[in-house]
Amino acid sequence: MSVTIRSIHTTIDEIHSEGGRPVEPAARVAVVLAVIENPWAGQGFVQDLGPTIDAVAPELGKLLSARVVSALGAPVEAYGKAAIVGLDGEIEHGSGLIHTLKFGDHFRHAAAATTLLPAVEKRAPAGTVFDIPLKHVTDATIRSHHQTVEARVPDAPRADEIIIGLAAAAQGRPHARLAPLASEQ
């Protein structure tokens, strides 16, 4: 089974100033979102999602991880993922596609990451704004890299679609100055 992709959206944010001070180099975040046909749409309740996950998740993981790393144009220091399911689907449909090593390991390898890949998943109508959480790729306790990036596709997800996305940052928050977690333990 191959996934049916309706569109792919790539966003690159660069922050050049924060708090009235320059950010040098500019803080860079890339997001790649694929709007796909929900592979379970119109089938009613499907008990075993496994065969479709096995067929679709690796294809999406490979495609999106290559695109987001390329769009970032720098080594990945923070990362996250998303699944936004259209109103006729189940949250489990999106979760099934992104919460598998068959999907996430493509991004972990591309980012030289070892930590849990944080996620957002929800059911929502087209045009919903959602935040993708990001964490450091090798140490989830590094507070400077705890951040979110806002994403939206104006005409998606349609009722029978899912948005699957990846986000990558080349650094932590601009001018981060929170004490290390170890200082509170």
Q: Is residue 169 within 8 Å of residue 28, measured between CB atoms?
A: yes
Distance of alpha carbon 164 from alpha carbon 148, whole angstroms: 16
Distance of alpha carbon 149 from alpha carbon 133, whole angstroms: 7
65-76 pLDDT per residue, tens: 999 999 999 999
The pLDDT, as a whole number, for residue 118 is: 97
The pLDDT, as a whole number, for residue 1 is: 55
What count of other Cβ atoms lies within 10 Å of the Cβ of residue 32? 25
Domains of the chain, each with CATH number or no CATH? 5-184 (3.30.1330.110)
Residue 73, phi-psi category: left (phi > 0), alpha (psi -120 to 50), beta (remainder)? left
The pLDDT, as a whole number, for residue 137 is: 97
The pLDDT, as a whole number, for residue 179 is: 76
Q: Which residues of the chain are under the pLDDT cut of 70? A: 1
The pLDDT, as a whole number, for residue 185 is: 72
Q: Is residue 58 within 8 Å of residue 102, measured between CB atoms?
A: yes
β-pairing, 78-85 vs 130-136, is antiparallel
State the DSSP code for 101.
Answer: H
* pTM, rounded to two decimals: 0.95
Structure tokens at 160: 């029978």
